Amino acid sequence: MTTITHIVKRTGAVVPFNQQRITNAIYRAAVAVGGRDRSIAEGLSDQVVAMLERTMPSDHVPTVEEIQDAVEKVLIENGHARTAKAYILYRDERARQRQERASRSARACENIPWRKIWEVLDWAVEHDLHTVERLNARIAAGEFPRIVRETDRAYNEDITTASEVIRERRESVKIVVIAGPSSSGKTTTTVKLSHLLNKMGLSLVPLTVDNYFFDLELHPQDEFGDYDFETPQALDLALINEHLVRLVAGEEVLIPSYDFKAGKRQDAQTPMRVGADEVILIDSLHGLYPEMMQDVDDAHKFKLYIEPLLQMRGPDGRYVRWTDLRLMRRMERDAVHRAYGRQQTLEHWHYVRASEMRHIIPYINATDYIVNSGLPYELPIMRARLFHYFEQWANQYRDDPLRQDAFARAERVYHLLEAVPPVEDDSPIPPDSLLREFIGGSCYEY
């Protein structure tokens, strides 16, 4: 039994010590370099705690930095150099991100698709939807159904343009990838794009990368012990890459099957072959992650990125955050379709976001086309469904040092929704709307 009972966070808050977080951090670093033995991480974690207890005064409350220093030392002393390097790099990256946030640097980020954002902003101004105030005015004038039609038309035109680009490259494209962060609307976009390409005579063969998950017991976990399905390392990237290379070459492969209830993968289950006039279709969070198809010639890939790039200023004068839109979408989808509580979604979102920033966002501008899935009309719909939850969470997490990320998001979304009138009647939203993917009532099967 460890004598360490509390630690000091970077904010100065003193919180209960949880050794499981050390184990999770070590295992996550090991997974990043191909390791999958959790028992080794547990043994190394024990050594970290023993070192802290041996080298620190009995009444000393260790800081996060002191614990991380001990982790690095134990990894190196035990010959886990590659894991230590992954851990150090991750630690350095997080430190750099904190420093950048603290300095509030105005440096333009190379990962931001500025040209696309300008197009979206121009559309928002033209349709008088560039501020929450103007959105409210149009709703008050009885124009909610019209807002829905205008928005959906713009989204559908985006997908049509993407399909035309693919048609121009149909002789070389063998894989169409639809990627983007959680709840950006990949599934609906995939369905709509599939229909358009089918009309052009292109036969699509979906490859479900979820079947390539490692067994659950081999998955990394986040700092709260939740299994992390958000990281690309949860997938057998080497096997996906091998299968794609062989499929593009016209060979047959045996696709694995993943049982989510049992958390187990069965290999070599379903035969798959792609004909000369067929295209592989991949809908994945990590479709842009290089290792997934690193050995496939770039000429054979069409990479589409999707995100709700909404250009609307909120009541505080700042633009509505895209991640907040996706958070609300995922809450509704998980509650409606996956029996996963809305509060659980909020508490887990910090890790979803961290994974996106490391494994998805850096590759935005490496795509062939970007689709905007931001829907101005989703705000009043979400106000009617989620406002009271965010009001409750903003109060609940206010003084909880372990849930400061959840508090910051809850308070921010609470103030945003507070400024928008609720729309209870969602009947003006058609069954093929992207928003139906999250609130239910879609004409598509997901």
Higher local confidence (pLDDT), 198 or 84: 198
Work out the average pLDDT over 263-269.
Answer: 92
| Tokens at 104, concatenated | 């509030």
**What dihedral angle (degrees, nearest 10) is formed by the CA atoms of 107, 110, 114, 117?**
-100
What is the per-residue pLDDT across 362-371, written as a single tens digit (0 to 9) for each?
A: 888 889 999 9
Say if CB 113 and CB 364 are below 8 A apart: yes
Q: Name the pLDDT band for 18 (thresholds 50, 70, 90).
A: confident
| Tokens at 390, concatenated | 């965010």
In the numeric block, the tokens 């997080």 are attached to: 94
Give the pLDDT score at 157: 95
**Quick check: 401 pLDDT over 70?**
yes
Domain boundary pick from 74, 103, 132: 103
Residues 160 and 80 in one domain: no
Domain boundary pick from 69, 103, 137: 103
Residues 43 and 163 in one domain: no
Q: What is the mean pLDDT of the chain?
A: 88
Angstrom CA distances, 194 to 99, 160, 166, 201, 293, stand at 43, 11, 11, 11, 21
Q: Which of 61, 62, 49, 73 is nearest to 1 (CA)?
A: 49
State how beta strands 175-179 and 278-284 pair: parallel
Residue 268 is assigned to a structural domain of this protein = yes
In the numeric block, the tokens 């989620």 are attached to: 386
* DSSP code at position 225: S
Residue 310 is assigned to a structural domain of this protein = yes
Say if CB 374 and CB 124 are below 8 A apart: no
Residue 272: enclosing H or E segment and its boundaries? Answer: strand 264-272
Task: Tell me how many domains the chain contains.
Answer: 2
Give the pLDDT score at 195: 92
Give the pLDDT score at 9: 79
State how beta strands 14-16 and 6-8 pair: antiparallel
Instruction: State the Cα–Cα distance between residues 211 and 218, nearest whole angstrom.
Output: 15
What percentage of the chain reaches a pLDDT higher than 70?
92
Residues 133 and 29 in one domain: no
Residue 171 is assigned to a structural domain of this protein = yes
Residues 98 and 119 in one domain: no
Domain boundary pick from 36, 69, 103: 103
Give the pLDDT score at 105: 39
Q: Between 38-55 and 19-32, two packed helices, what is the crossing angle to 10 degrees?
A: 130
**Quick check: 98 pLDDT over 80?**
no
Residue ranges making up the domain that contains 197: 114-439
| Backbone φ, ψ for residue 195 (5° rounding) | -60, -45
What CATH number does residue 194 fall under?
3.40.50.300
What percentage of the chain reaches a pLDDT higher than 90?
54
Instruction: State the Cα–Cα distance between residues 300 and 279, nearest whole angstrom.
Output: 10
Say if CB 310 and CB 130 are below 8 A apart: no
Instruction: State the Cα–Cα distance between residues 387 and 210, nearest whole angstrom.
Output: 33
In the numeric block, the tokens 């279709």 are attached to: 281
Q: Is 69 left (phi over 0), alpha (psi -120 to 50) or beta?
A: alpha
Give the pLDDT score at 95: 65
Work out the average pLDDT over 302-326.
Answer: 95
Higher local confidence (pLDDT), 88 or 159: 159
| Tokens at 300, concatenated | 């054979």
Residues 49 and 190 in one domain: no
Residues 229 and 336 in one domain: yes
Say if CB 230 and CB 352 are below 8 A apart: yes
**Quick check: 100 pLDDT over 60?**
no
